[in-house]
Amino acid sequence: MENLIEVIGAGMRFIMEQERTDTLKEYLVKLVRRNLKYTGFTALKDVSFSVRRGDSVALIGQNGSGKSTMLKLIAGVMEPTSGSVRVRGSIAPLIELSAGFDVDLTGRENVFLNGALLGYKRPYMERIYDEIVDFAELHEFIDVPVRSYSSGMIARLGFSIATHVQSDILVVDEVLAVGDYNFQQKCYRRMEEMLDTGRTLLFVSHDAEQVKRLCRRAVWLDHGMLMRDGPSDQVCDAYLDWMQKREAQ
Amino acid sequence: MGFLHEVRMTFKYVHLIVELVKRDLKLKYRRSFLGYFWSLLNPLMMMTVMMIIFSYMFRFEIENYPLYLICGQTIFNFFNESTTRAMYAVLENSTLLKKVYVPKCVFPLSRVLSCFVSMALSLLAVVIVMLVTRVQLHWSMLLFFIPLIYLLLFASGVGMITSSLAVKFQDVLHLYNIVTMVWMYATPIFYPIEAVPENVARFIRLNPLYIIVNIFRELMLYGRIPPLGSWLLGAAMSVAMFLIGALVFDRLRKDFIYYI
């Protein structure tokens, strides 16, 4: 099976200006004084792993472990400062609540806007439109501005769009916390179905149970470094052990 | 990723630009009773107010002053509105830019384009003024779209600069108002260029917006086709500004993610 995602020795070092220069004046003053000091912060350090087509991989780790940075590199919104991240095929990220939706537009209009943001043209979105609305169970509300949706309704619509477009890779970033129990279960079933049809899943979570249920493999990051990469139950158990030990200390 | 890759991706995302333009236009007119009609009414009302002020307070010897005014005003207002709206484009879409890859220039460009569509609709106001003031119709008027294309290129270039600078230096948001105000006074919109002393007029003639306004007026107001030199100068300046804008944007876009 071909590798859809290949992360080779990826490192990400943020350059943080010691005191952020937000204004032109500060910037110029510092530039003149040759006082632009930078400090570095390493978010990822020499991380390598790959994801094959049809795989389901979880990224786990505590807050600040580098999961989100890794995700941004894979999504292509950032480039690594060292090493390389190569992605073949299209990615559909589950866009978080506020980001991909325009609250003044109706649900229907947002489906097309969201689709366009993910790179899909209108005729294609029209073909899958009914399926999206069916899954999100939003028939009565689809022509109402999203402003009046509950957060659960927006999450349903977002999830439905991201999982119905034919992307090669679905990226799910702990958004399943919203939505009620029934919908969560529906989402899991949907993701399992997608995996059965050979789509690829990249799942970011710190909930070990969710990870074990959905993913065959897990990649554990801590402080920007790869701790372990292997079958999800083994990696999750090791992660939980490690967490307990740290707590005991 | 290099400049050329980004250009290719922008072409691949043309459909997104279309969707964003549609959204802008829908939202602009959605909750107003008169809807699109405002694009027509607004310039007419503005022109009337300015006409009253300037024909009583300052008297300029200009034939068909209403048309003179509305031609300049339509073009400058578009420039002002589009570049100002473009300035906020990247900042306002920051949450999205952290999540999904899209060529970032689609945001400023789509805003300039949606303003351009509104402006095209308000051209009907220019036509109305032409009919009311009984301007003689000429075939040359059919060339009206060429200065508007210059204008679109020019505004897109400036819009890419304002939107990318605003991410790094928020000062730009405050400063740009002043820039456009000075720019407006440096563009003969309500006064004739002859009213300015020659040593200043020399610079005004190099103002790209004036060059564009002038071509537009020559066509619409005087029924003349401007000399080749004006066409070439206008084209060169617009294309140059577009390219400069694209290069500045490309240089700065890589840092967006650290600021948004």
Averaged pLDDT score across all residues of chain B: 91
If one counts the domains in chain B, the total is 1
- Per-residue confidence (pLDDT) for residue A98, from 0 to 100: 55
- Per-residue confidence (pLDDT) for residue A22, from 0 to 100: 63
Averaged pLDDT score across all residues of chain A: 85
Rounded CA gap, B8 and B247, in Å? Answer: 15
A145-159, B155-169, B171-185: segment of lowest average pLDDT? A145-159
Rounded CA gap, A202 and A86, in Å? Answer: 15
Residue of A nearest to B10 (CA): A119
- Per-residue confidence (pLDDT) for residue B156, from 0 to 100: 98
Rounded CA gap, A117 and A170, in Å? Answer: 15
Work out the percent of chain B whose per-residue pLDDT is above 70. Answer: 98
Residue of A nearest to B106 (CA): A117
Compute φ and ψ for A218, nearest 5 degrees. Answer: -135, 145
Residue type, B159: G
Q: How many CB atoms lie within 10 A of CB A179?
A: 20
- Per-residue confidence (pLDDT) for residue A125, from 0 to 100: 95
How many beta-carbon pairs below 8 A join chains A and B? 75
Most confident of A41-50, B151-160, B186-195: B151-160
DSSP A194-249: HHHTT-EEEEE-S-HHHHHHH-SEEEEEETTEEEEEEEHHHHHHHHHHHHHHHHH-
Task: Find the helix packing angle between B145-168 and B171-185, rounded to 10°.
Answer: 150
**Nearest-CB residue to B170 (from A23, A102, A104):** A23
Which tops the pLDDT comparison, A90 or B105?
A: B105
Contact A21, A30 (CB under 8 A): yes
- Per-residue confidence (pLDDT) for residue B53, from 0 to 100: 83
Is residue B49 helix, strand or coil? helix
Question: Any CB–CB contact under 8 A between B11 and chain A?
Answer: no
- Per-residue confidence (pLDDT) for residue A205, from 0 to 100: 81
Adjacent-strand bridge partners of A91:
A169
Segment B26-45 mean pLDDT:
80
Q: Which residues of A touch B171 (CB under 8 A)?
A: 23-25
**Residue B34 predicted with pLDDT over 80:** no
**Residue B260 predicted with pLDDT over 90:** no
Segment B106-116 mean pLDDT:
96
Q: How many CB atoms lie within 10 A of CB A71?
A: 20
Residue of A nearest to B94 (CA): A99
Work out the percent of chain A whose per-residue pLDDT is above 90. Answer: 39
Q: What angle do CA A125, A128, A132 make, to 5 degrees?
A: 105
- Per-residue confidence (pLDDT) for residue B99, from 0 to 100: 81
Of the candidates A173, A168, A6, the one whose C-alpha atom is nearest the C-alpha of residue A80 is: A6
- Per-residue confidence (pLDDT) for residue A37, from 0 to 100: 59
Most confident of A89-103, A142-156, A206-220, B208-222: B208-222
User: What tokens does A98 get?
Assistant: 């506020």
Most confident of A15-29, A196-210, B185-199: B185-199
Which tops the pLDDT comparison, A56 or B61?
A: A56
CATH code of the domain in which A98 resides: 3.40.50.300
Nearest CA distance, B47 vs chain A (angstrom): 32
Please judge whether A105 and B27 are an interchain contact, meaning their C-beta atoms are less than 8 angstroms apart: yes
- Per-residue confidence (pLDDT) for residue B96, from 0 to 100: 83
* Residues of A within an 8 Å Cβ radius of B: 14-15, 22-25, 27, 72, 75-79, 91, 93, 95-96, 98-100, 102, 104-105, 109, 112-113, 116-119, 121-122
B9-13, B149-153, B254-258: segment of lowest average pLDDT? B254-258
DSSP chain A: --EEEEEEEEEEEEEEESS---SHHHHHHHHHTT---EEEEEEEEEEEEEEETT-EEEEE--TTSSHHHHHHHHHTSS--SEEEEEE-S-EEE---TTTS--TTSBHHHHHHHHHHHTT--HHHHHHHHHHHHHHHT-GGGTTSBGGGS-HHHHHHHHHHHHHHS--SEEEEES-TTSS-HHHHHHHHHHHHHHHHTT-EEEEE-S-HHHHHHH-SEEEEEETTEEEEEEEHHHHHHHHHHHHHHHHH-
Residue of B nearest to A109 (CA): B23
**Residue A89 predicted with pLDDT over 60:** yes
If one counts the domains in chain A, the total is 1
Question: Any CB–CB contact under 8 A between B12 and chain A?
Answer: yes
Say if residue A249 is exposed, middle or buried (CB neighbours under 10 Å; 0-12, 13-18, 19+). Answer: exposed
- Per-residue confidence (pLDDT) for residue A182, from 0 to 100: 84
Question: Any CB–CB contact under 8 A between B23 and chain A?
Answer: yes
Of the candidates A119, A122, A99, the one whose C-alpha atom is nearest the C-alpha of residue A167 is: A119
Segment B83-99 mean pLDDT:
90
Segment B83-110 mean pLDDT:
91
Question: Any CB–CB contact under 8 A between B16 and chain A?
Answer: yes
Most confident of A71-75, B129-133, B237-241, B255-259: B237-241
Adjacent-strand bridge partners of A16:
A39
Q: Which residues of A touch B18 (CB under 8 A)?
A: 116
User: What tokens does B72 get?
Assistant: 């300049």
Is residue A140 very low, low, confident or very high in pLDDT (cuts 50, 70, 90)?
very high
Residue of A nearest to B31 (CA): A104
- Per-residue confidence (pLDDT) for residue A16, from 0 to 100: 64
pTM: predicted TM-score of the whole model, two decimal places: 0.88
**Residue B216 predicted with pLDDT over 80:** yes
**Nearest-CB residue to A77 (from B18, B19, B97):** B97
Which tops the pLDDT comparison, A248 or A145?
A: A145
Domain that holds residue A153: 3-248
| Beta strands A82-87 and A3-17, pairing class | antiparallel
Rounded CA gap, A169 and A217, in Å? Answer: 15
Please judge whether B15 and A27 are an interchain contact, meaning their C-beta atoms are less than 8 angstroms apart: no
Adjacent-strand bridge partners of B74:
none
Contacting residues for B169 by C-beta, under 8 A, at least 6 apart:
A22, A23, A24, A27
- Per-residue confidence (pLDDT) for residue B47, from 0 to 100: 84
Say if residue B177 is exposed, middle or buried (CB neighbours under 10 Å; 0-12, 13-18, 19+). Answer: exposed
Contact A167, A118 (CB under 8 A): yes
Q: Hey, which residues 78-107 in chain B have their CB within 8 Å of chain A?
A: 95-102
Domain that holds residue B196: 3-259
